[in-house]
Structure 1
Amino acid sequence: MRTTGTGSCQWTSRVRHCAANTRFANSSPRAAAVSIINISSVSGFRPQPHNVAYVAAKHGVIGLTKVAALEHGKDGIRVNAVAPGAIDTPMLQSALHDAGINPEEFAPALSLLGRFAAGREIAQACLWLASDLSSYVTATCIDVDAGYTNR
């Protein structure tokens, strides 16, 4: 297992960024409700081989989300995370193309709906968590993965 070098920096960078957001929100005036939304990944629940730094980082984001919610709920700060599944992006399309994989044939392996997510679908989950509609939701990680983690 590699724990130094680029992988270590990737993990440290992702978790530090989430922690910095938590410290900032805790120092903000209480004029309005504060909602922190961290982005994890389905890899935070269902690890993938040969990707130790990414998987560790996404597990770390989920843990940080829960601890921050425990510590800051009394201040009215809600802390949640979203764990996206496969998102249809140019990067994903390029990776699949380079591997000689047909996206339409591969999508059902990662989605019970048989397709990749659109970026806006992840954003909509974040908007809900940021809204008053989720005012009683904290310390939660929402899977936006078309059922991938339930397989």
Structure 2
Amino acid sequence: LRTGPRAHFARESPQHASYNRIIAAAGISKTAAYHYFDGRDDLLGTVLEDVEAQLIASLGRWVPAEDGRSFWERLAERTARVKEHLAANPDDLALAPAALERTDGAGLSLWLTDVMDNGRKLGVVRSDVDPDLLLAATTAVFRISDAWPPEQVRLLLAGLWSTPEKPAR
């Protein structure tokens, strides 16, 4: 899956990739292919699940930070790992948006929940906004972060997560 079908879906796009061409490139018969997959969508789903699993694996398990400084350092290090993975695996880069959309970013959301819970305990992630809303906004930022410099993403998250000062009366 990490070579033939994955490369084909990445090159042709998940919407336009041909199951018949993937089968032909793999050198197997349609009968054999249908023994393993119910069709194109089943194969695509398997590929996209693996792409998301690779992204989450590159992040690694979140180990809670002990203070705000180590929190931001750890987050920068983890997001750099994802960027490295995507740079080394261009097919994953091409398929990441479809993978996260297909699963609603479930794996990413679980990872971010751990990060944000740790941040709330440290006072670097706000607690005055509904946690689900903040998670949805943060997930959206992470979904597009590979296209932006890491420092810009960190600044955006710091602004999103911080509690604004109350206006003077």
Which fold has the larger relative contact order, with Cα–Cα distance below 8 Å and residues 6 or more apart in sequence?
A: 1
Computing the radius of gyration from Cα coordinates, the structure with the larger value is: 2
* TM-score band, normalised by shorter chain: 0.3 to 0.5
The two structures have a TM-score, normalised by structure 2, of 0.33
Bigger helix share:
2
The two structures have a TM-score, normalised by structure 1, of 0.36
Bigger strand share:
1
